[in-house]
Structure 1
Amino acid sequence: MSDLEIRPAAPTDIPAIVAMLADDPLGAQRESPDDLTPYTTAFERLSGDPNQHLAVAVRDGRVVGTLQLTIIPGLSRRGATRSIIEGVRIHADERGGGLGTQLIEWAIAESRRQDCRLVQLTSDATRTDARRFYERLGFEASHVGFKMAL
């Protein structure tokens, strides 16, 4: 197995990231890899925000994983900063080989570097494998999440 690099995403990575976001039953319903315009706009917004870290895992020059890490300063928990991990995706060819663990470990290490006191994430309730994966890494299903489409 060749070396893996985890680095900030570049604009040229957008097609590969979007393809991974769309490569499952849920993503296929909500992503549009044929029109990258909204993703390019979103990438520009993310790039301009120092609290947003869109990372990619690259092996042999190919993007094989991604996640977004958001740093959130706050007043609760005695003024603690927290991070949120979102959009974790591993290319189908790489699943089951430990890459997801490496990406999450990178996000946790970056959260510590940013002085976060809590790392949180959500996973769709239908993603039972993802839930087991996060629990194996030490995450606890401690809260009930709510969302509202706007």
Structure 2
Amino acid sequence: MEQKLEFRIATEQDLGQIVAMLADDILGSKRERYEQPLPESYLKAFQAIKDDPNNELVVAVDGNKVIGVQQITFTPYITHQGGWRATIEGVRTSSSVRSKGVGTKLIKWAIQRAKERGCHLIQLTTDKKRDDALRFYKHLGFQATHEGLKMKL
């Protein structure tokens, strides 16, 4: 089946499908709460992203079905002569379309968007437990050039 893939900024009506995708994953199932109605925290986060001109929550849609999502944050830096960089987070595709090219198209879309915004660099992180995701990003040209650290608060 050929998909008619479209990329667009997410709307509040997409939020249920987005959270369902995030929760449909071995790691996501431990941290997300997909229930109806959605917890208020998701609505607040969506509104904050929507109101921030340097954040974009992007969905891949096939017809009226959301089959992919990613958040892109554009950040100005003093380093690199005041350059901008893009950070991709929260990438997920629907389990029904995995390994069918949707993720590749989603990330390539983000790379193009970063270029349009004048970014000199695009970065992302993936959990070290996600071996398939790490291979996927390396295949697309991302390199593990830095060691990332996080602290839960």
TM range (shorter): over 0.9
Shift in Å, 1:60:
2.0
> TM-score, structure 1 length as denominator?
0.98
Report the AA paired with residue 111 of structure 1. A
Which residue is equivalent to 2:10?
Answer: 9
State the secondary structure of the residue aligned to 1:25: coil
Which residue is equivalent to 1:145?
Answer: 148
State the secondary structure of the residue aligned to 2:107: helix
Which residue is equivalent to 1:106?
Answer: 109
Which residue is equivalent to 2:70?
Answer: 67
- Gap regions ≥5 residues in structure 2: none
Report the AA paired with residue 38 of structure 1. S
RMSD value over aligned CA atoms?
Answer: 0.7
The correspondence of residues 45-124 of structure 1 with structure 2, limited to 5 A, is: 45-124=48-127
Report the AA paired with residue 135 of structure 1. K
Aligned residues: 150
Which residue is equivalent to 2:134?
Answer: 131
Write the distance in 2 (CA, Å) between the matches of 1:60 and 1:50: 27
- Gap regions ≥5 residues in structure 1: none
1:31 equivalent to 2:32? Answer yes
Write the distance in 2 (CA, Å) between the matches of 1:83 and 1:42: 19
> TM-score, structure 2 length as denominator?
0.96
Write the distance in 2 (CA, Å) between the matches of 1:87 and 1:39: 13
Write the distance in 2 (CA, Å) between the matches of 1:117 and 1:131: 22
Write the distance in 1 (CA, Å) between the matches of 2:19 and 2:3: 24
Q: Does the 8 A contact of 1:55 with 1:68 survive in 2?
A: yes
